[in-house]
Amino acid sequence: MERRPAVRAAGLRKSFGGREAVRGIDFEVPAGSCFGFLGPNGAGKTSTMRMICCLSSRDGGELNVLGHDPERRPRAVKSRIGVVSQDITLDLELSIRENLRVYGGYFGMRRVDAARRADELLDMVNLRDRADEAVESLSGGMKRRVQIARALVNGPSLVVLDEPTTGLDPHARQVVWQRLRALRAAGVTLVLTTHYMDEAEQLCDRIVVMDGGRIVEEGAPRELIVRHVGEDVVDAARPGERRRATLEDVFLTLTGHRLDGDA
């Protein structure tokens, strides 16, 4: 028996004042997959995520999250999702462990159960040895790992992540990617936004590309890379006319190429 999508949208719309941020988009997120929204700032990605997370109402269309309309049954949706926002929203004065325990209380967890869950998650994000440190003392990458751990306190079926690695150094990005892959392997559905195609390729089974509030392209990351960019990139640095002559000689042997930059 085929499982229903974790998220389904049809004709989804959202406006702010006279500006239509999301313009009638359709998409489905298969349960247990990692689904990405790729696009520039102002494309409508975050507005879409806020509607999925019950943080913003829609102005038109249909939206179903884990079998529920998020406007009609927001508590049913919120109890089963985890959210990792773009900004750091942790309580910086509390320790890592205290952040997780307090958050567990929001879901009605007993203190003993919240403590046990906190320790499980600290092990998952490799921060058990830093558990009693104040969050404000952590690096950006560690704070992001704490946010991911906090989003998992309630054992969600769906985790929504808005630009989860923005501002992180390459090593911190790799660590976050590892944690997200582990969640995906455990059957948790992931929905994320990103500016980076390399991140989408590393994590996502399928992506939609948004621009101006519309979906302009969709497919598996590798399919879109081959379709629009090609599989190979030549990066050459040589002064002036010699550089252009060299690149033109190379590209004479290729089909479907594009010359970018100031050559």
More confident residue, 250 or 127: 127
User: Residue 244: pLDDT band by 50, 70, 90 thresholds?
Assistant: low
204: left (phi over 0), alpha (psi -120 to 50) or beta: beta
Is 176's pLDDT higher than 60?
yes
Residue 182 has pLDDT above 50, yes or no: yes
**Mean pLDDT value across residues 125-135:** 94
Indicate whether 242 pLDDT > 70. no
Per-residue pLDDT tens over the stretch 10-21: 999 999 988 999
CATH number at 1-80+196-231: 3.40.50.300
Tell whether the model's pLDDT for residue 243 goes beyond 70.
no
φ, ψ of residue 41 in degrees (nearest 5): -60, 140
pLDDT over 70 for what percent of the chain? 86
Mean pLDDT, to the nearest integer, of 197-217?
Answer: 94
State which of 203-207, 236-240, 241-245 shows the largest mean pLDDT.
203-207
Residue with tokens 């999925």: 52
Residue bearing tokens 């007993």: 110
In tens, the pLDDT along 49-107 reads 999 999 999 999 999 999 999 999 999 999 999 999 988 899 998 999 999 999 999 99
210 with 39: CB under 8 angstroms?
yes
User: Does residue 99 contact residue 146 with C-beta atoms inside 8 Å?
Assistant: yes
Higher pLDDT, 218 or 196: 218
Whole-number average pLDDT of the chain? 89
How buried is residue 95: exposed, middle or buried, by Cβ count under 10 Å (0-12/13-18/19+)? middle
In the chain, ranges of CATH 3.40.50.300 domains: 1-80+196-231
Q: Count CB atoms within 10 A of the CB of residue 153.
A: 23
| pTM (two decimals) | 0.84
Q: Is the pLDDT of residue 1 over 50?
A: no
Alpha carbon separation from 89 to 26, 82, 84 (Å, rounded): 30, 13, 9
